[in-house]
Amino acid sequence: MAAPVGKLTGCGHAARVGGMTWRESGCIAVMINTRALIGLIAIKVGRDIGVIPDSVFCMLVIMALVTTLMTTPLLRRLLGDQSTRQQV
């Protein structure tokens, strides 16, 4: 739980300081969690070389999947009607 919250908070505030609106900053913060494929590759390598035990591997895989799956609903909420207007 600390990893996604840290990413959301850190990236969101950095984007806000960089001049983006709160909505844009929120989108940036949410999108940082979508890189689960890279995370899955890294934790698989760690498990293969014996650095990550099976129990931790399972937790990390679940975290990667959950944070990726929560991206679309969060972005839809942040973008609101704007996302449907751009599709047309």
pLDDT in tens, 26-46: 888 888 776 677 888 889 999
* Helices and strands in the chain, H and E counts: 6, 0
pLDDT value of residue 68: 82
CA distances (Å), origin 62, targets 1, 16, 31, 58: 11, 30, 18, 6
Token readout for 49 is 């070389």
pTM for the structure as a whole? 0.61
